[in-house]
Amino acid sequence: MDIIKKYTHNEVTVVWKPGLCIHSGNCVRTLPHVFKPKEKPWVQPEGSTSEQLIDAVKKCPSGALTYTIENKNEPMEETPEKIKVNLIENGPAIVVGTCEITHPDGSVETRERRSSFCRCAKSANFPFCDGSHKNV
């Protein structure tokens, strides 16, 4: 089962799915006093406003970070009319939008919002990127 971690501060809960993280570092660069990969817990939202947390989460390219707002049930962002694919130089193909993935064994899974597909074939989490392209 996929691991899901939650970090709540005031009305915002930051949700992290480590299995989707491609280690881009966008979160760390945006809010270094919140996202501290060398500390435990690595997300320390105290001291940030809700807007700052939401802004940082929206910069996560992989969908590993999402958020919920207490008492609100609205989507993080509009689902695009067209599926968008962003090719990262020497990195993954990031698909923006909900997609249904059929694996070689015939199993089907649905990924919402964003998915990062490995293009270097070195990911330990193939077909999804796990950041291993940085070592290739």
In the complex, the residues that contact ligand SF4 under the rule CB under 6 A are 21-27, 60-62, 64-65
From residue 99 to residue 118, what is the string marking binding to ligand FES with x (rule CB under 6 A)?
-------------------x
Listed residue (130, 133, 100) closest to 116, CA to CA: 130
CB of 104 to ligand FES, least distance (A): 17
Q: Find how far residue 87's CA is from the centre of its chain.
A: 16
CB of 96 to ligand SF4, least distance (A): 14
Instruction: Choose the binding region for ligand FES from 6-14, 45-53, 63-71, 125-133 (rule: CB under 6 A).
Output: 125-133
Do residues 62 and 22 lie in contact, with contact meaning Cβ atoms separated by under 8 Å? yes
Listed residue (122, 84, 128, 130) closest to 103, CA to CA: 128
By beta-carbon proximity to ligand SF4, the closer residue of 27 and 95 is: 27
From residue 18 to residue 37, what is the string marking binding to ligand FES with x (rule CB under 6 A)?
----x---------------
**What is the C-alpha separation between 117 and 94, in angstroms, rounded?**
6
Footprint of ligand FES on 47-106 (CB under 6 A): 91-92
Listed residue (130, 109, 111, 108) closest to 119, CA to CA: 130
Block residue for tokens 């962002």 = 77
Contact residues toward ligand FES (CB under 6 A) are 22, 91-92, 118-120, 122-123, 129-133
